[in-house]
Amino acid sequence: MTASPVPLHLSPLRRGPAAEVLTLAFHQDPIACYVFPEEARRGRVLRWMFHCHLRYGLRYGEVYTTDGVDGVAIWLSPGQTTQTLWRVLRTGALAALWSAIIDGLAVCG
């Protein structure tokens, strides 16, 4: 019998590998492929998005993984599920979004 992986709280220091796992898991998602048909751009956007989700989860909920970061679960506690502008700003999503917009303009221009 194979032992089940033990869920561990994600350390903020392991956010990068966790974002990479989520990016790989959703890279071929039909919606992601439709919205971002170019693979390289899709990877960049998904990585950015999951970094934001992980920062939000670490601040306002709980994030679990395994010792080898084989999977990731982000849980928001009851009463903590509303993403207000202030909370989004505190997780750095707006700055990252601005950077993504500038990156997109550079590609278009």
Residue 1 lies in a domain: no
Task: Work out how many domains the chain is built from and give that number.
Answer: 1
In a domain? residue 40? yes
**In the prediction, which pLDDT does 109 show?**
47
Residue 2 inside a domain? The answer is: no
Dihedral angle at the C-alpha atoms of 2, 18, 80, 29, nearest 10 degrees? -90
Mean pLDDT of the chain: 86
- Ranges of residues in the chain whose predicted pLDDT is under 50: 107-109
Q: Please, are residues 53 and 25 in contact by the beta-carbon 8 Å criterion?
A: no
Tell me if 14 is assigned to some domain.
yes
Q: Are 56 and 87 in contact (CB under 8 A)?
A: yes
100/31 Cα distance (integer angstroms): 19
pLDDT at 93: 73
Residue 56 within a domain: yes
What is the domain extent for residue 86?
8-108
Instruction: Flag whether the pTM goes above 0.85.
Output: no
Handedness of CA 95, 36, 71, 60 (dihedral sign): positive
pLDDT at 66: 95
Distance CA 91, CA 6 (A): 27
